[in-house]
C-alpha cells in the first residue's frame, strides 16, 4: 500500500495538470476538426499557451462588481473546484491507487457532483446581473434534473455488480464490461454527464449567444479561471466515471500497467467530449428539459427495471 498522502498529492498533481492541459488539448482538437492548427506558436505544439493563458488570468484585474454580493461572489468559484476534486476521492485509478476506498463510492460521487450546482447558483445570484441570474437558474434546473437520470442510470451498474464500491465494480467487470449489458444505461449516463458538466451542446447556463456568458458574466481573472478549471475537471471526472463504471476501469491486457489503461480510456472519452463540442448545436432550454424528463427519465427507469428483473431472474434461477 502506497502512502495515502502520496496518492493524494499525485492525484491532485495529475488532475490539475490535466485540467490545464485540456485547455490546450481542446483548442488543438477543435482546430483539428475545423481544419485549423489551433495554438501552435508558444512552445512546442503551442503547449505553452496554457502557461500564457494562466499567466494572463493571474494578471487580469481581479474585479468584483460594486453591485455584487461580495462574500458569495468570491466563494462561488471555489465551490465548483472543491466539489469536483472531492469527487475524485473515490475514483480508482488502478488497484490500490485510490484516495479513499469508500463502500458508498457512487453515492459520494453523486453527492459531490450535486454540490457543483451551488457554485453556479451562488455565482449567478451574487453577480446581481440579470444574465448571470438567468444562467444560474437554467444551470440549477438542468443539473438537478439530469442528476436524477444520472443516478438512475448508475443503479443498473450497482444492481449488476452488487456494490457501491467502485473498486469492486471494476473488479466485477473482469468478464464483461458493463457497457455491454448496460448500453442504455451508459448512453443515459453519458448524456447526463454532459449536461451535468454543462459542456457543449448542453452549455445552456452559459449560452454566450443569448446570455453574454451566463452565470459567470461578471467574473474575471482567476475567479473566472476557477470556473474554467472546474469545467475541465468536471469533464475529466465524468470521463473517469464512465471508464470506471462501464469500460472496465483500469482493466486491460497486461502489457501496459493498469493506470495507463485507465488513462488511455479516460483520454478517449475526453476526446469524445470535445468531438461533441465540435459537432453538436446547442438545443433550446425547453427542448433540453423536455428531452430529459420525457425521454431519458422513462428510459432510465425502464433500464433499471429491466436490469433488476434480469438480475432477479438470474439470481433466483
Partner 1 sequence: MFSLLRSMWLVFLHMFHKRDTYQYPEQKAPLPARWRGRIALTRDPDGEERCVGCYLCAAACPVDCISLQATEDEHGRRYPEFFRINFSRCIFCGFCEEACPTYAIQLLPDFEMAEYNRQNLVYEKHDLLIPSQGKYPGYNYYKVAGLAIKNKDKGEAEHEEPPVDIKSLLP
287 binds partner 1 (CB under 8 A): no
Does residue 279 belong to the site contacting partner 1 (CB under 8 A)? yes
- Write down the least CB distance from residue 294 to partner 1, Å: 15
- 72 grid coordinates: 458569495
Among 4, 6, 12, 32, binds partner 1 (CB under 8 A): 32
Name the nearest CA neighbour of 105 among 51, 161, 56, 57. 161
The Cα–Cα gap between 273 and 25 comes to 12
Residue 280 touches partner 1, criterion: CB under 8 A: yes
Of the candidate spans 29-37, 42-50, 72-80, 131-139, the one that interacts with partner 1 by CB under 8 A turns out to be 29-37
Q: Is position 34 an interface residue for partner 1 (rule: CB under 8 A)? A: yes
Q: How many residues bind to partner 1 according to rule CB under 8 A? A: 11
Nearest Cα neighbor of 133 from 231, 50, 33, 216 is: 216
- 208-247 per-residue burial string, b: 16 or more CB within 10 A, e: under 16: eeebbbbbbbbbbbbbbbbbbbbbbbbbbbbbbbbbbbbb
Angle between helices 258-279 and 221-246 (to 10 degrees): 120
Q: Closest CB to partner 1 among 6 and 37?
A: 37
Tell me, residue by residue from 156 to 195, as one string, x for binding to partner 1 by CB under 8 A and - for no binding: ----------------------------------------
How far, CA to CA in Å, does 188 sit from each of 156, 271, 275?
A: 11, 18, 18
Per CB under 8 A, the list member of 6, 33, 58, 293 interacting with partner 1 is 33
Q: Which is nearer to partner 1, 28 or 223 (CB)?
A: 28
Q: Contact positions toward partner 1, by CB under 8 A?
A: 32-37, 275-276, 278-280
Amino acid at each position: 500500500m502506497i502512502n495515502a498522502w502520496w496518492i493524494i498529492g499525485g492525484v491532485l498533481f495529475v488532475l490539475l495538470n490535466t485540467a490545464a492541459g485540456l485547455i490546450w488539448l481542446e483548442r488543438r482538437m477543435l482546430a483539428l476538426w475545423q481544419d485549423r492548427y489551433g495554438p501552435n506558436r508558444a512552445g512546442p505544439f503551442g503547449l505553452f499557451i496554457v502557461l500564457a493563458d494562466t499567466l494572463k488570468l493571474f494578471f487580469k484585474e481581479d474585479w468584483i462588481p460594486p453591485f455584487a454580493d461580495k462574500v458569495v461572489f468570491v466563494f462561488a468559484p471555489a465551490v465548483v473546484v472543491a466539489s469536483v476534486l472531492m469527487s475524485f476521492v473515490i475514483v480508482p485509478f488502478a488497484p490500490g491507487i485510490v484516495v479513499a476506498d469508500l463502500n458508498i463510492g457512487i453515492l459520494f460521487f453523486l453527492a459531490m457532483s450535486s454540490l457543483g450546482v451551488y457554485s453556479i447558483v451562488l455565482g449567478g445570484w451574487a453577480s446581481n446581473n440579470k444574465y448571470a441570474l438567468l444562467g444560474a437558474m437554467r444551470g440549477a434546473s438542468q443539473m438537478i434534473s439530469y442528476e436524477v437520470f444520472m443516478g438512475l442510470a448508475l443503479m443498473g451498474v450497482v444492481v449488476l455488480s452488487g456494490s457501491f464500491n467502485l473498486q469492486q465494480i471494476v473488479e466485477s467487470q473482469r468478464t464483461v464490461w458493463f457497457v455491454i449489458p448496460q448500453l442504455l444505461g451508459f448512453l443515459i449516463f453519458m448524456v447526463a454527464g454532459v449536461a451535468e458538466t454543462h459542456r457543449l451542446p448542453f452549455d445552456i447556463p452559459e449560452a454566450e449567444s443569448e446570455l453574454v456568458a451566463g452565470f459567470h458574466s461578471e467574473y474575471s481573472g482567476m475567479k473566472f479561471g476557477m470556473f474554467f478549471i472546474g469545467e475541465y475537471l468536471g469533464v475529466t471526472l465524468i470521463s473517469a466515471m464512465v471508464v470506471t463504471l462501464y469500460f472496465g476501469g483500469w482493466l486491460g491486457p497486461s502489457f501496459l500497467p493498469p493506470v495507463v489503461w485507465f488513462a488511455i480510456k479516460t483520454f478517449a472519452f475526453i476526446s469524445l467530449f470535445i468531438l461533441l463540442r465540435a459537432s453538436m448545436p446547442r438545443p433550446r432550454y425547453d427542448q433540453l428539459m423536455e428531452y430529459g424528463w420525457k425521454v431519458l427519465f422513462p428510459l432510465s427507469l425502464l433500464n433499471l427495471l429491466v436490469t433488476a428483473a434480469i438480475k432477479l431472474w438470474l439470481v433466483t434461477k
